[in-house]
Amino acid sequence: EKFAAWDWRFYQEKLRAEKFAFDEAELKPYLQLERVIDACFDVATRLFGISFEEKQGIAAWHPDARVFVVQNGDGSERGLFLADYFARPSKRSGAWMSALKSGYKLGHGSRPVIYNIMNFAKPPAGEAALLSVDEAKTLFHEFGHALHGILTDVTWPSVSGTSVSRDFVELPSQLYEHWLTVPAVLEKHALHVKTGKPMPKDLLNKMLAARTFGAGFATVEFTASALIDMAYHARPDALQEPLRFEAETLDMPDSIAMRHRTPHFGHVFAGDGYSAGYYSYMWSEVLDADAFAAFEEAGDPFNPALAERLKQNIYAAGGSKDPEELYMAFRGKMPSPEAMMAKRGLV
């Protein structure tokens, strides 16, 4: 019987379970929300010398929203970080970062007030909220965006924090995800909700081995969508037969399809944000993998000299300089795709 594109994920999951004998539910007891939050803060302290102190007496937009004062290493106040972690009926779905107030030095200056929104399931009273691996990754991702706003050190409000080009804005967030699986971070923070024991190494190894499974298919389906996006926006005329255009542009086997077919490719037709820019997701992965490779090459995920260059040239610089110039100042070279391919298990 012919294997169709829509069969792929069903059989992929069956093969993943058979090959790795791994169930992600095994990890949940080790990923308590409070401990993952602590891990985010701890990594920021070790890398960038800032600390977070929760303030109970400051009212936010909802009782679930929490307020943290961010302090520099010398104890001076840097700004505020607010976090609203749990889903509720009145709340928009998804996860994101934004600024109530941007940080800048113009005039009397402004300290940043940055927030993260999540939609984790709220546990019953007295019980710990447990996260999936994807949810923990999302928490680190959005906190990486938050750090881009918190650490900003620019003169002009228009280039503060995440006010950077579309194909550079995901670097601070995707890069921060790497520290979630640093062994020293997991040993300290991934503790079983009942026993308090750290995550067993064999369970961690299974998770790391399984995360690249199916990456070849995922890479091809994403690249197909990015190529179609570019091809559409390179044409001066309107298309009459989009399905034929897809087939002629890609010339792919029937068993692999685009991630987003033209009729529902909202990223590139709903506004200007990702028009001819869908590629930026994968380009950001090239950047984040190459950037973290610098720490791997140094043999220390918290190398002080690298962390300082990362802070000054990526997290603090906002859009004050060209992204290429900023990346070169941090890394000392242009990014190459080899680290991303290795991260995906394709080399």
In a domain, 114, yes or no: yes
In a domain, 305, yes or no: no
Looking at the structure, do residues 65 and 143 belong to the same domain, yes or no? yes
In a domain, 182, yes or no: no
In a domain, 118, yes or no: yes
pLDDT band at 221 (very low <50, low <70, confident <90, very high): confident
Boundary residue ending a domain (132, 148, 163): 163
In a domain, 22, yes or no: no
In a domain, 308, yes or no: no
Looking at the structure, do residues 141 and 222 belong to the same domain, yes or no? no
pLDDT digits (tens, 9 = 90+) for 132-156: 999 999 999 999 999 999 999 999 9
pLDDT digits (tens, 9 = 90+) for 31-85: 999 999 999 999 999 999 999 999 998 889 999 999 999 999 999 999 999 999 9
pLDDT digits (tens, 9 = 90+) for 249-284: 888 887 887 777 777 777 777 666 778 888 988 999
The structural domain count of the chain equals 2
Q: Give the residue-averaged pLDDT of 162-169.
A: 94
Q: Which of 87-96, 223-232, 264-273 has the highest mean pLDDT?
A: 87-96
Looking at the structure, do residues 219 and 145 belong to the same domain, yes or no? no
Boundary residue ending a domain (163, 184, 202): 163
Tokens of 162: 């995440």
* Closest among 122, 179, 191, 119 to 147, alpha carbons compared: 179
pLDDT digits (tens, 9 = 90+) for 178-193: 999 999 999 999 999 9
What DSSP string runs through 296-324? HHHT-TT-HHHHHHHIIIIIS-TTSS-HH
pLDDT digits (tens, 9 = 90+) for 291-342: 999 999 999 999 999 999 999 999 999 999 999 999 999 999 999 999 999 9
Containing domain of residue 122, as a range?
30-163
Looking at the structure, do residues 157 and 34 belong to the same domain, yes or no? yes
Q: How many other CB atoms are there within 10 angstroms of residue 44's CB atom? A: 24
Residue 15 reports pLDDT greater than 70: yes
142 is a catalytic site residue:
yes
In a domain, 196, yes or no: no
Boundary residue ending a domain (163, 183, 201): 163
DSSP 246: H
Residue 137's domain is classified under what CATH number?
Answer: 3.40.390.10
Looking at residue 132, its amino acid is S
Give the pLDDT confidence score for residue 272 in this predicted structure: 67
Q: Burial of 39 by CB count in 10 Å (0-12 exposed, 13-18 middle, 19+ buried)?
A: buried
What is d(CA 105, CA 135) in angstroms, rounded to the nearest whole number? Answer: 35
In a domain, 324, yes or no: no
Q: Torsion angle, CA of 82/88/92/93, rounded to 10 degrees?
A: 100
Secondary structure element (H or E) that encloses residue 69, with its range = strand 66-71
Catalytic position from the list 142, 170, 246, 285: 142
Rounded alpha-carbon distances, angstroms, from residue 263 to 69, 259, 267, 272, 273: 45, 12, 11, 17, 18
